[in-house]
Amino acid sequence: MSKMDCTPDLKIAERRAVVLVSGGMDSAVTLALAKERGFIPYALSIDYQQRHRAELDAARNNALGLGAVQHKCVPVDLRSLGGSALTQDDMAVPTEPSSGIPITYVPARNTIMLSIALGWAEVLGATDLFTGVNAVDFSGYPDCRPAFVAAFQALANVATKAGVEGAGLRIHAPLIAMSKADIVLEGLRLGIDFATTVSCYQADALGRACGVCDACRLRSAGFVQAGVVDPTRYF
């Protein structure tokens, strides 16, 4: 159990949770874990005008297939801000590893996503939010690290009515200390069909992966290290 995931092993009866789902393997596993732990999951995706829009279809299908009570997709135009290869057509998605934070980092993306999830949680009366961020096998994004999750939880509890007058809010990041191989094995234990997930930064309209971007390399390595056949559909 990681420092950022302090949920007891005992199931919690009748507790709602908002789960961020992107369409990728990490968020699918996170949603399945939330449900296994007894939470009633409400799935939330953000249409931030990402170039790899097939992930939104995968997010909807996986959310409902994995038992979410509801799937909501909220539009937020981050393309208009620029600054990321995931939103700008004139910035190429890198196909080789890079040092430092790569140009696929989307400025403030996870902060914005969790903020919207926080608002929906208050409306639903949910006290728990789940995110699939990972700080082991990841691209180095600052908003996928334990310090970010801890800081956002602290912010949530001073910036909301639920935090100030209610029972408080908790941000769960159950995958944060897992390797991609660990996530693969956990997903298989939970019965997830990874072929229905889309992780690729430049997936085509059918959700087929390029096989060479950072997300594809990390995903493929996870299956290899887990000793599991990669079910990803490539173009």
Domains of the chain: 15-226 (3.40.50.620)
| Residue 12 reports pLDDT greater than 90 | no
Query: To 5 degrees, how large is the angle CA 58–CA 61–CA 63?
Result: 100
CB 126 within 8 A of CB 162: no
Mean pLDDT, residues 193-208 taken together: 96
Which among 213, 200, 204 has a CA at the least distance from the CA of 95?
Answer: 213
Which among 111, 184, 181 has a CA at the least distance from the CA of 145?
Answer: 111
Whole-number pLDDT of residue 109: 96
Structure tokens at 47: 């249409």
Q: How confident is the model at residue 167 (pLDDT cuts 50, 70, 90)?
A: confident
Structure tokens at 9: 């092993």
| Residue 35 reports pLDDT greater than 60 | yes
Mean pLDDT, residues 61-78 taken together: 97
Q: How confident is the model at residue 137 (pLDDT cuts 50, 70, 90)?
A: confident
C-alpha–C-alpha distance, residues 178 and 184, integer Å? 10
Task: Give the DSSP H or E segment for 19.
Answer: strand 15-20
pLDDT digits (tens, 9 = 90+) for 99-133: 889 999 999 999 999 999 999 999 999 999 999 99
Q: How far is CA 224 from CA 40, 137, 181, 190, in A?
A: 33, 13, 8, 19
Which among 118, 121, 115 has a CA at the least distance from the CA of 17?
Answer: 121
Q: How confident is the model at residue 149 (pLDDT cuts 50, 70, 90)?
A: very high
pLDDT digits (tens, 9 = 90+) for 82-95: 999 999 999 999 98
